[in-house]
Structure 1
C-alpha cells in the first residue's frame, strides 16, 4: 500500500514537472506577428470608421490565422477556408441562439464535436474546436438582436478572409517550400541510416528514417492540387518515390551483409540532399562515383535519384501524383464505433454540453467561461495531456485574469486597445511553443477583452472572483468528464483493431499471391485501401493509448515493435503490388502463410500465448519473408504482456 502511494506521488510530481517544463525550441516570430496583425488590424479599421464594435467581431475571424502551421500551401488553404466557414457559422448560430441558453448549450456541444471530429479525421494541425467554441460563446452571450446573425457571420467571414490572404502570401515567393524541405530531410536521414548500418543504433535509425518517409509522403500528398502541378512538384514526387526504393535497398543490403557502406555511398546521398533546393542544380553534375563494393541495386537507385535532381522534364512525360485517400474514405474510416476520432469527438461534445448547461446554473450573467475552459482542457490528445492542460489552464488563466482585470479597469479605447490586442496575441503565439500555461497567461486577457467589449465592465472584485470560479468549475468538468467517459477506451480498442489490421494484410496477401485471384477486378487496390485505413486508425489509437492512465507500459513498449513491423510489411506488400510479374504461391504455401497471420490476429484479439510458425518461401520476395518473421518475433514478445 505504501509503495503504491509512493508511486502515485512520484507520478503526480512528474506530471507537475511536465506541465510547467519550458520547451527549448525556436520562437515563431513570423507566425506571432501574423497572429497579432490579423487580430488587431480589423479593430483598427473599425476604430478608423467609427464602428469599433464591428471591428471586434471581425477580429474573431482573424483567429483563423492561428490554424496556420508549417504545412503545404494547398493544405493550408483548404484548412483555413474550412475554419473561416466554421467560425462564420458559429458566430451566426451563436447570435441566433443568444436568447435561448438551453438550445445554446446543445448547439455548442454539437459545434465542438463536429470540429473535433473533422480535425481528428483529417489530421489537421491546430487548436481544433477551441476557437469555434470561443466564437460561438461570445456571440451567444451578447445582447445583440438575433436578426443580426447574418451580419455577424459576414463580419467574421471578412476577418477570416484577411487571415487566409495573409497566410497564403508566401505562396507567391516559394510555393513548394515545405515540400522541398521535407524531401531534403528525407535524403539526409537516408544518409544517416547508411552510416549506422553496422552499429547497434541501426534499428532506431531505421525507424526514424521510416517515420520521416511517411511524414514526407503525407506532406506531398496533402500538397497536391491540379493547379499546383509543376515541374518542381513533379521532381519532388519522383525523388520521394526514389527515396523509398533507396530505403528498401539499404535495409535489404544491411540485413544480408551486416557491414558498413562505403563513405562515397552516403556522401552521394548527402550531395543529392544538398542539390534538392539548389538553384541552379549544378551540384548534381559533380556527384562522386560510387564504389563497386556497394550493391548493384542500391547504385542503380542512387543513380536514378541523380537524374531526377539534375535533369529537366518534358511536358509529354506522365505526371507522378502521390496517392491519397478520398474524402469519402477518410470520413467513413473515422465515422464508426471502433474509431478513436469518433469516440473522442462524441465525448468532447457531450461533456461540453454539460459544461454549458452547468454554466447557466452557476452564473446567471455571463456563462461563456466555464464551457470555454472545459473545451481548452479537453483539447489534450490523451488523458495525461488533459491532466497537464487542466493544471496549465488553471494556473495560466488565474494570472491571465489578473492581467485582464488590470487592463479592463483602465477602460482602454481606440488605438490603445488595438496595441494591447496585438501585443497579447503576439506574446501568446510566442509562448505557446514554450508552455501552454505561459500561453494561457496571454490568451485569457484576449478572450476576456473580446468578450467584454460588448458589455459594461462592472465591479472588479466580482468580475475577478466570478472568472476564477468559472475556471475552476470548467477545468473540473473537463477533467472529470474525460476520466469518467472512456478513460481507457484506446487501450480496450487496441487488441481488436490490431487483429483487424493483421487480417486486412492477410486478405491483401491473398489477393496478391493467390493463383485464383483476378487482377483485373481491382481486388488488390480495394484490399490495399482497407489495409491503409486500418493502419491509420491503429496508429491513432496506439498513440492515444500511450497517454492513458494505468496503461501497461511493458505491453505498449513491445507493441511499438509490432506496429513498426506492420508498417514495414505494408510498405513491402505495396511494392509487390506494383510488380505485375510476381509469381503466385501454391494453395498449400498460401494456406500456411494465411495461417501465420490468423494466429497473430488471434494472439492480438484474445491475448493467446504465441508460438512462431514457419513462413513458406515467397519467390523473389525474401524481404517480405523476413518482415513476416520479424513481425512474428515481435508478437511472441508482446504476447507475454497483457494489454488490458
Structure 2
C-alpha cells in the first residue's frame, strides 16, 4: 500500500510539474498581446516617457479578455473590461493616501469584483487583472495633481488594445467562423457572496500585512495571494502555490540575469515584449512554467526604473520574500474558501441573518 501511494504521488508530481497540456489557442493571440503591451512601451521610450508607456501598457493587458465569439460580442466584452480596468485604477489611486484605508477598500473592491465575475461565470483570467491594477494603484505615491494623467494613460492603453482587437477580429472572422458562446449566470447568491467575502478579506489583509512588515512594494503580496487563490478547488490551490513558489524562484534567477546585464530602457521594452509573448504561449499549457517568465515581466512593468539602477541581489531577494509571503497567505485562504463545512456554516448564518432582518 505505501508503495502504491508513493507511485501515485510521483505520477501526480510528474503531471503537475512537467506535463504540458494541449491547447487549441492560436499563436496569433500571444503576438497580439505582445503588441498591445509592447507598442505603448516603445512609444513611451521614443518620447523619453517610459513611465507613461508602462502605465499605458498595463491598460493594454485588457486584450487578454478577448473572446472567440462574434465581432459584436468581442467588442462589447473588451469595452466592458476596459471600463473595469479604468475604474479599478481610478478607485485604487484615489484611496492610496492611507495604507489602512487602502487595505479596507481593496478588500471591499475584491469582494465586489469577484462576485461579479463569478456571477457571470467569467472565464480566465477572470478577476485577476482588475484587482492587480487596483493593487498597483493603491501602492503608488498619492499625488492628487497626477491622478487625471495616470487614469488617462491607462485608458489610452485599453483603447489601443480595443483598436488592435477590432482589426484583428475583422481579419480573423473572414477566415474562421466565430465560436458560439452563451453567458452563464450562477444563481447561488449565498455561496458566491461567502467566497467573495473570504477572498476580499484575505486580499485586503495580505496588503495590510505587507504594510505592517514595511515591505518596499507591498502590492506584490496581494497579487501573489490572488494568483494562488484563483485555484478551482483545494487541490488546485496547493498545486498553484507550489507552481507559484518554484516558478518564482526560477523566474527571479532569470530576472537577476537580465538585471545584471545593465539593460537600457530600450532593452527593458524589448524584454517585456518578448516575455509577454512567451507567457501567453505557456500559460494555457503549464502555469508553473509561465510563472518563470511572469516574474521578470511583472518586476519590469512595476519597477522599470529601479530594475535598471538597483542592486540585482537586493531586488531579487525582496521580491522573493514578497511573493512567497503572498503565496502562503493565498494557500491558507484558498483552503478556507474551499472548506465545505466552513462554507456551509457561513452560508447558513447569512440566510438566518437575512430572514431575521426581513421579519423586522
TM-score (norm 1): 0.49
> Counterpart of 1:395?
246
Contact between 1:112 and 1:130, CA under 8 Å: does it hold in 2?
A: no
Q: What residue is the counterpart of 1:462 in the other structure?
A: 314
Q: Take 2:250 and 2:274, find their aligned partners in 1: how far apart are those partners?
A: 17
C-alpha change, 1:168 and 1:111, in structure 2 (3 Å) is farther
CA 1:148–1:11 in 2, change beyond 3 Å: closer, same or farther? farther
- Structure 1 counterpart of 2:220: 369
Q: Using a 3 Å threshold, how does the CA distance of structure 1 residues 374 and 439 change in structure 2: closer, same or farther? A: same
Q: CA deviation at 1:416?
A: 1.9
Alignment length (residue pairs): 344
Q: CA deviation at 1:181?
A: 5.9
Work out whether residues 228 and 244 of structure 2, in 8 Å CA contact, stay in contact via their aligned partners in 1. yes
**In the alignment, what sits opposite 1:427?**
278
Q: Is the 8 A contact 2:229 2:330 kept in 1?
A: yes
CA contact (8 A) 1:62 1:163 kept: yes
* Alpha-carbon offset, residue 71 of structure 1: 3.1
CA drift of 1:19 comes to 2.1
Output the CA distance in 2 between the equivalents of 1:403 and 1:134: 22
Which residues in structure 2 correspond to 1:14-25 (within 5 Å)? 14-20=11-17, 21-25=19-23
1:343 maps onto 2:194 in alignment: yes
* C-alpha distance in structure 1 between counterparts of 2:259 and 2:293, whole Å: 14
**For 1:465 and 1:415, how far apart are their aligned partners in 2?**
25
Q: Is the 8 A contact 2:65 2:78 kept in 1?
A: yes
Structure 2 unaligned residues grouped into runs of 5+: 349-360
Q: Are residues 1:481 and 2:333 paired?
A: yes
Q: Give yes or no for contact 1:40–1:418 (8 Å, CA) kept in 2.
A: yes
Instruction: Tell me the residue number matched to 1:74.
Output: 72
> What is the CA–CA distance in structure 2 between the aligned matches of 1:438 and 1:478, rounded to whole Å?
19
1:166 aligns with 2:17: no
Aligned-residue offset at 1:403: 1.6
Distance 1:69 1:445 in 2: 27
Partner Cα distance (1:150, 1:491) in 2:
41
Cα contact 1:141–1:367 (8 A) shared by 2: yes
| SS state at 2:193 partner | helix
Query: Matches of 1:488 and 1:61 in 2, distance apart?
Result: 37
Q: Is the 8 A contact 2:128 2:226 kept in 1?
A: yes
Judge conservation of contact 1:127–1:379 (CA < 8 Å) in 2: no
Does the 8 A contact of 1:359 with 1:367 survive in 2? yes
2:236 counterpart (369, 381, 385): 385
Deviation at 1:15, TM superposition (A): 4.2
Q: Deviations over 1:553-609 (max 9, x none)?
A: xxxxxxxxxxxxxxxxxxxxxxxxxxxxxxxxxxxxxxxxxxxxxxxxxxxxxxxxx
Q: How far apart in 1 are the matches of 2:293 and 2:214? A: 24
* Residue 440 (1) aligns with residue 288 (2): no
Answer whether contact 2:70 2:178 (CA < 8 A) is retained: no
Q: What is the rounded CA distance, in whole Å, between the counterparts of 1:431 and 1:139 in structure 2?
A: 27
Moved more, 479-488 or 152-161: 479-488
Superposition deviation, residue 96 in structure 1: 2.6
In 2, Cα distance between equivalents of 1:100 and 1:410: 37
- For residues 431 and 75 of structure 1, what CA distance do their matches in structure 2 show? 26
State the match for 2:105 in structure 1. 107
Partner Cα separation in structure 2 for residue 62 and residue 18 of structure 1:
33
**5+ residue gaps in structure 1?**
183-215, 223-324, 497-644
> 8 Å contact 1:15–1:388 — kept in the other structure?
no
What secondary structure does 1:142 align onto? coil
Q: Is the 8 A contact 1:77 1:168 kept in 2?
A: yes
Report the Cα distance in structure 2 between the residues aligned to 1:133 and 1:492, rounded to whole angstroms: 27
1:158-209 deviations in whole A, cap 9, x for unaligned? 101111122222443465877x465xxxxxxxxxxxxxxxxxxxxxxxxxxx
Q: Which digits, 9 at most, give the CA deviation of each residue in 1:435-487, with x for residues without a partner?
A: 00111111111111111125474333222222112222111111111213441
What SS is found at the alignment partner of 1:168? Answer: helix
SS of 1:25's equivalent in the other structure is coil
Normalising by structure 2, we get a TM-score of 0.85
Shift of 1:141: 2.5
> SS where residue 412 of structure 1 aligns?
coil
The corresponding residue for 2:55 is 57
Shift of 1:12: 4.7
1:254-298, Cα deviation, whole Å (9 max, x unpaired): xxxxxxxxxxxxxxxxxxxxxxxxxxxxxxxxxxxxxxxxxxxxx
Structure having the higher helix fraction is 2
Max radius of gyration: which structure? 1
The verdict on how the C-alpha distance between 1:460 and 1:28 changes in structure 2, with shifts beyond 3 A counting, is same
Contact 2:337 2:343 in 1 (8 A): no
Equivalent residue number for residue 261 of structure 1: none
